[in-house]
Structure 1
Amino acid sequence: MRKTGLITTLILLCFVAVSQEKRVLSLQECIDIAVENNLTVQRSELNLQSAQVNLMQAQAQRYPTLNANGNFGYNWGRGIDPTTNQFIDQRINFNGVSASTSVPIINGLQVHNSIRQSKLNAEASEFDRQKAINDISLNTALNYVNVIFNKELLENARFQLESSQQQLERTTLLVESGALPLANKLQLESQVATNEVNLINAQNNLDLAVLTLKQGMLLTPGEEIDIVIPDVTVDQAEIGETSILELYNVALANQPEIKSAELRVESADVGLDVSKGAMYPTLSLGGSMSTNYSDAFQDVSVLSATPTGQLNPTALQLQDGTEVFEQEFDVQLASETVPLSTQYDNNLNTRLTLNLNVPIFNGFRTRSDIQRSKISLQQAEINRTEQENILYQTIETSYRNAVAAAKTYQASLKQVASLEETFRAVENQYNNGAANFVDYQLASNNLFQARTDLSRAKYDYIFRKKILEFYQGIPLTF
């Protein structure tokens, strides 16, 4: 039963391993995925969209405004008839419609400058987005190189283990033949165990490096990936051929954070013009149309007028002295509400106005806005200088690191070559009984450490040089 359960478990593990097929990704694919999933990049894209909406709104300020209004209601008790402006005391039903428009003519160039400022802000937001993409691209490239580095360390550890195992097999044969003492075999078994631990640690470091790469790409949990190992060649062209100042000037012309900072300065300068525009008079052309309706507005007509009673004299007389008499009539009246269309036609009101607004005193609001705009301009200039300083420091640090990495790589090459010869000599001596195990172990460990240092120096140099190339506008590729 136990054997059956073990076999079933192994089959299931094999099935799971096959079903979870790894995605093999290149550096560019890793960068694309990281850029697509990165939250900072997404936030910068939303900032760009917001800046574009602000630009669209600023451009729309050049066009006339048009607004329509309508009302409908009932009035009870004493009120004013909206069609006659007379007091009435009855329930009335009323409604009305109106429309108004305004066209800016002169406004101190505030609309023009607002559009300019919004365009500059939108362009700066685009460069901010590129800066976010550059940051995540560099970080992904670093994680990618770290995986390659740990893969090479794993191969070094595996090679070291295989070498120790082969030496153990040879020593075992010599011990069994009586040529070497048993202690040599036991010491080599200890060395093999140590190398196995190194192999396990190297595998764990590789797994952690892959995990860091996955986390930087924000991949879904449980998704297995592997990377394409590029054919990395170490180009040892002299880095010192290009000066730090030349690298800085090239980076100054193409790095998005510098362009964004420059655009923010220009935007703040235009914003100052917008604030100053509020000091000047504004002129606009306005127009409106309105009409209304009330069911209290009646059209009255006489149906009949019948005389009643006798003629009664009045106090009035004609010029010739003839008396004037009055006659009472029984009048029959008819009334109906004037139709909606007729009232709308009769009550139509149109207006055309030319509006001039001259600012005189507004609680120092304009003056305060101008002062705030000046402060914003100074802050933008400080930010630009700060970004330039950061870039120069980054370029100088990257340059120094690349030069140091190149020298370290050269020294590591010589060290590995020397220790390989030393190890071969000590190994031959150990096999012939001329060297003890301590010498053999020391030579082996020194070689393993030197190869590890060489791998570290190699990929550190490659990455450092890629950073310099990146700041010169060269894409991150291997």
Structure 2
Amino acid sequence: RQGRQQLRTASQLSEAAKQGIAVAKGAYSPSLSLGAGLNTSYSYQFKYNGQFPQSSFTDQINQRLGQSIGMSLQIPIFNGFSARSTVRRAKITYQNSLTTEQLAKNNLNKVIFQATTDLKAAQSRYGSTQNAFNAQKDAFYVVEQRYNVGLVNSLDYSTAQTNRNKAEIDFIQAKYDLLFRAKVIDYYLGKQITF
């Protein structure tokens, strides 16, 4: 899942970088800005011997009310070099993100290919250890029958038993290695892992 997650992340980053090119090209377009404002003020004046008569708060607010409206239009005529370099940087970022995405795909394919190769090797080992175990089991049966009638000594019997046990252990290990390799493939393919 980690490989798939990295691939998904790289793909999303590529898509974002592609959108970044469109955003950078927006610097070639004119822009229109509108603004509005409303303001007022109030001041307190100290009375000195009846001079400077004081206006009330509401009178001052109403008398000093100010309004403004503004509009600004910017046409990019001489900023072409900066806009062009911004677009070029966005395109380079996009190409880098595509390269990163392809690298993530290649890495995931490499890991899946290696897991598939390991699975085939585990299948081959499982078959050969199964054949070896069956052969050692049959050989031990013959030695055991001969031992029971006294035709084989205990050393040969013990050696045949050890060989059979080793072949059985190898077979069991190969069986679980095969199961593990199959589950690794399921993991990389995003399947639910069950036993």
From 280, 284, 294, give the equivalent of 2:29. Answer: 280
Q: Which amino acid aligns with 2:101?
A: R
Q: 1:161-207 deviations in whole A, cap 9, x for unaligned?
A: xxxxxxxxxxxxxxxxxxxxxxxxxxxxxxxxxxxxxxxxxxxxxxx
Q: 2:165 aligns with which of 445, 448, 459?
A: 448
Partner Cα separation in structure 1 for residue 119 and residue 154 of structure 2: 39
Residue 105 of structure 2 is aligned to residue 356 of structure 1 = no
Structure 2 partner of 1:368: 85
Q: Is the 8 A contact 1:297 1:338 kept in 2?
A: no
Question: How far off its partner does 1:417 sit?
Answer: 1.6
- Aligned residue identity for 1:288: G
Highest RCO, 1 vs 2 (Cα 8 Å, sep ≥ 6) = 2
Distance in 2, matches of 1:274 and 1:297, equals 57
In proportion to residue count, which structure has more helix? 2
* CA-CA distance at 1:335 after TM superposition: 4.5
| Closer/same/farther in 2, CA of residues 434 and 342 from structure 1, 3 Å limit | farther
**5+ residue gaps, structure 2:** none
Residue 457 to residue 336, structure 1, CA distance change in 2 (3 Å):
farther
TM-score, length of structure 1 as denominator length: 0.37
1:263 to 2:12 alignment? yes
Change (3 A) 1:363 1:273: closer
Counterpart Cα distance in 2 of 1:338 and 1:470: 82
**In the alignment, is residue 293 of structure 1 matched against residue 42 of structure 2?**
yes
Question: Alignment partner for residue 94 of structure 2, among 377, 380, 389?
Answer: 377
CA contact (8 A) 2:119 2:182 kept: yes
- Does residue 458 of structure 1 match 2:175? yes
> TM-score, normalized by length of structure 2?
0.82
Matches within 5 A, 1:174-213: none
Provide the rounded CA distance (Å) in 1 between the counterparts of 2:169 and 2:63.
97
Compared with structure 1, are the counterparts of its residues 466 and 334 closer, same or farther at alpha carbon in structure 2 (3 Å cutoff)? same
What is the total number of aligned residue pairs between the two structures? 195
More strand by share: 1
CA contact 1:258–1:388 (8 Å) conserved in 2: yes
SS of alignment partner, residue 296 of structure 1 = coil
Residue segments in structure 1 that go unaligned for 5+ positions in a row: 1-133, 137-254, 301-331
- Residue identity opposite 1:267 in structure 2: A
Q: Residues 343, 449 of structure 1: CA spacing in aligned structure 2 closer, same or farther, 3 A cutoff?
A: farther
The alpha-carbon deviation at position 293 of structure 1 amounts to: 1.9
Residue pairs, 1:38-117, within 5 angstroms: none
The aligned counterpart of 2:124 is 407
Q: Distance in 2 between matches of 1:366 and 1:461?
A: 58
Query: Equivalents in 2 of 1:389, 1:463: separation in Å?
Result: 23
State, as a whole percentage, how many aligned pairs show the same letter: 32
Residues 370 and 431 of structure 1, relative CA distance in 2, 3 Å threshold: same
